[in-house]
Amino acid sequence: MKITLSSLLCAAAAAAALLLVPVIAPAADRPADPAAQMLAASGVVPVKDAGLYVHAGSYRIHVWTMLGKPTEVLPDGTWFYKDFSAQASAAHGTLVVRFDQGRVTQLSLVTPAVALAMLNAPDAKKDGVLVTQR
């Protein structure tokens, strides 16, 4: 039996391809994570609720009770909670809670860079601008 170099290379290539199938297949089977993708792309993800009981309309004292003391507070009353994760997603960042008349009006998850920009922006402190999405 005579083995040629070309048949040996073909067999090696086929074996390598078979070894890569388990690595490639789980990535294709994994469902898309739209929240993580949106956070990575724009730096901001609107959040419907934070935990089981904090959502638009919640009172400020209720947010404090459920989430604790905010990490940072803007002069306009916007609260920041660092190291927050979206439920059922890989999205992780800073939770930004905006209030109007003592009730939650907006919840957003932002990247640390966006949070830092918000904290350092004179316009955000003066005009109460939270975040603009692209």
Which helix (DSSP H) or strand (DSSP E) does residue 22 occupy? helix 5-29
The confidence score (pLDDT) of residue 9 equals 44
The confidence score (pLDDT) of residue 134 equals 35
* Tens digit of pLDDT at every position of the chain (134 positions): 555 545 544 454 455 555 554 555 455 555 688 888 989 999 999 989 888 889 999 999 999 999 999 999 999 999 999 999 888 889 999 999 999 999 999 999 999 999 999 999 876 545 444 554 43
The confidence score (pLDDT) of residue 89 equals 86
83 SS3 class: strand
The confidence score (pLDDT) of residue 85 equals 85
Q: Phi, psi (5° rounding) for residue 40?
A: -65, -40
SS3 content of the chain, % helix, strand, coil (to 5): 45, 25, 30
